[in-house]
Amino acid sequence: MTLLEHDRAADLIARRGVEDLAAADAAWLKSHLSECPECAIYVAAFEQTGQLLRSYTITATSALVTRTQSLVRVRAEQLRERQTRMVLVAVSFCIGVLFSTASAWLWWKAGDSVVRWLGLPESIVAPGVLLFWLLPAIAVAVLMVVVPQTVLTNPLTPSLAREREEEIR
């Protein structure tokens, strides 16, 4: 019997109380339990604990209920924010690619004249394409580093939870 098999058995034992196991898993567990006394003892203890817990009536106080509800609401808010941020990241990425392509193309077409007009050495035209290609991406990256912080420091999120707690008192 390997440790991995005992782990799998423990996992299946815990899951079988809350969900339906696949037929293959249930069959494997049954055969494992028939030949593994350690896991058989574990099942007995697990079921005894379950019965013990069910015999207790646990009543949540209204404060606990309200706090849990507000935490769930805050979590939902965070998930929504994360979704919004993902959309922002995707949009920023597309904008970055567009601007990178456009500015690199512009430099490629007009870089020669600009360099001549400014009296700069011709050798910087080629590295200039790279610079103009990367510049919008760097600008977008800087913006993305700054923006999530403002979302996170949004005073609405923690105050939502605090407000609820104060209502209880």
Spell out the residues 6+ positions from residue 154 whose beta carbon is closer than 8 angstroms to its own.
Answer: 81
Apex CA 86: angle with CA 81 and CA 91, to 5°?
125
Among 16, 25, 36, 77, binds Zn ion (CB under 5 A): 36
Continuous segment of H or E residues that includes residue 61: none
Q: How far apart are CA 50 and CA 83, in angstroms?
A: 38
Q: Which is nearer to Zn ion, 9 or 104 (CB)?
A: 9
Which residues within the stretch 109-148 sit at the binding site for Zn ion (CB under 5 A)? none
Q: Which is nearer to Zn ion, 6 or 67 (CB)?
A: 6
> Is there binding between residue 16 and Zn ion (CB under 5 A)?
no
Q: How far apart are CA 159 and CA 80, in angstroms?
A: 17
Among 12, 13, 29, 39, binds Zn ion (CB under 5 A): 39
Q: Which stretch binds Zn ion (CB under 5 A): 17-25, 35-43, 50-58, 60-68?
A: 35-43
Residues that bind Zn ion (CB under 5 A): 6, 9, 36, 39
